Structure 1
């Protein structure tokens, strides 16, 4: 680890701890307001998959500040329904700075020339198509907003509202919301559901690595089914280690 990276990581850890102490249990729209308008104004982005639950967080950010950059990772392997859902939400919510980030085509040609890396090495595919492009996209920012919630996986059950990762402060404004609260908010605000949800897709990522969830199954059973993989890697350090 070089000194600059080590310094950035220490800064993020210290800053995240200070913000947790300062803002305590604040979350949702209130946390978004503080982080985007006070603590990191002009230095924060929201990262969205425009997936099954994304409309709620996108609606909240549109209420706070429609100009906050929204980073969308277009991996080249997404469902067409996701791309159309993205376009509909962007127009509906009036988001003014949505950045579709694609993997480096030179790297794709070198590391996934046949387009089947997802099958042979899903971790390497996620790194190529999501982790590395996101790291580039977030280079200009000090903080970013995620849509993670504690109910989604065991690994996320103890996440704080504010944390650190890869030298950035990470904000998790919906961390305590459960599936029922998210759906109630979506319905109350007349937000469109992702078109694949009613077809049994509860957590939606890239098409080759996303399956339907059988009734009664866990929320993320449809992601990388048949493997022990639960995360794409963007919530790990860029070197693959834990935060």
Structure 2
């Protein structure tokens, strides 16, 4: 299903969608997004990280054959790879697709697997952004698990976002609080990522993720000590975001 031509631009479609679903709950936003002609062909992108199981469960209830794109950077924790298989099987997700960088690009740009030490942005581009963009090519929209409480570039998040001029992002959990996430996992008896109990509230690639101390921001363990808070697969105001977004920036 392709988006209807009722609105000329992605930005206009996004404005209409946010107005239409402004007072809907997360499960309603997700369910309607899957079938709304203004959203078009859709896939979910999931890291199978610390909180991913919530959105994956909502999808499994609504429509378990929607494509789920899992980016395997080949630098993930072994626990994440095992968890991905466990969750997909337990929830009955029937269309999980693993996305990886091409062997040719890896050999040319990161032959010894140390690019993340020299240039973490380039590593994220190579292992995440480029493969994901190729995997998303057939889709008009994609579903993310981002939430406002995660802070940084996410604190003004809406249910629907314009990604450039060609694609829409759907954020069903945008308005959830941390307690909402934990309550949903508990109430639905969902499996937890094993690293959460070891102090990892936000989980990415193993070389660039560290445990978080009590009182720290949940994402403090991602690229610790670097001017970087996103991997680059997300856009804010049409621009790739990797570092902190400046307040009131022009």
TM-score (norm 2): 0.89
Deviations 1:79-99 (A, max 9, x none): 010011110000001001000
Instruction: Indicate the RMSD between aligned Cα atoms, in angstroms.
Output: 1.8
Equivalent position SS for 1:151:
helix
The 5 Å alignment of 1:53-92 reads 53-92=51-90
- Is 1:129 matched up with 2:135? no
- Is 1:149 matched up with 2:147? yes
Q: Which has the higher helix share?
A: 1
Q: Distance in 1 between matches of 2:25 and 2:116?
A: 35
Q: 1:44 is matched with which residue?
A: 42
1:179 CA displacement: 1.6
Q: Distance in 1 between matches of 2:38 and 2:96?
A: 18
The 5 Å alignment of 1:151-190 reads 151-166=149-164, 167-190=166-189
1:42 CA displacement: 7.0
Q: Distance in 2 between matches of 1:240 and 1:36?
A: 26
1:170 CA displacement: 0.6
Equivalent position SS for 2:97:
strand
1:236 CA displacement: 2.4
1:175 CA displacement: 0.6
8 Å contact from structure 2 (residues 27, 172) kept in 1: yes
Deviations 1:110-139 (A, max 9, x none): 111110111100000000000011100000
TM-score (norm 1): 0.91
1:218 CA displacement: 0.7
> Structure 2: any 5+ residue segments left out of the alignment?
1-7, 242-250
Q: 1:215 is matched with which residue?
A: 214
Q: Distance in 1 between matches of 2:139 and 2:235?
A: 17
8 Å contact from structure 2 (residues 233, 240) kept in 1: no
1:12 CA displacement: 1.9
8 Å contact from structure 1 (residues 163, 169) kept in 2: yes
The 5 Å alignment of 1:26-41 reads 26-39=24-37
Q: 2:108 is matched with which residue?
A: 110
8 Å contact from structure 1 (residues 148, 174) kept in 2: yes
Q: Distance in 2 between matches of 1:74 and 1:52?
A: 16
The 10-residue stretch of structure 1 (176-185 or 81-90) with the greater mean CA deviation from structure 2: 176-185
> Structure 1: any 5+ residue segments left out of the alignment?
1-9
Equivalent position SS for 1:173:
coil
1:159 CA displacement: 1.0
Equivalent position SS for 2:9:
helix
- Cα gap change, 1:72/1:241 in structure 2, threshold over 3 Å: closer, same or farther? closer
8 Å contact from structure 1 (residues 233, 240) kept in 2: no
**Count of aligned pairs between the two proteins:** 233
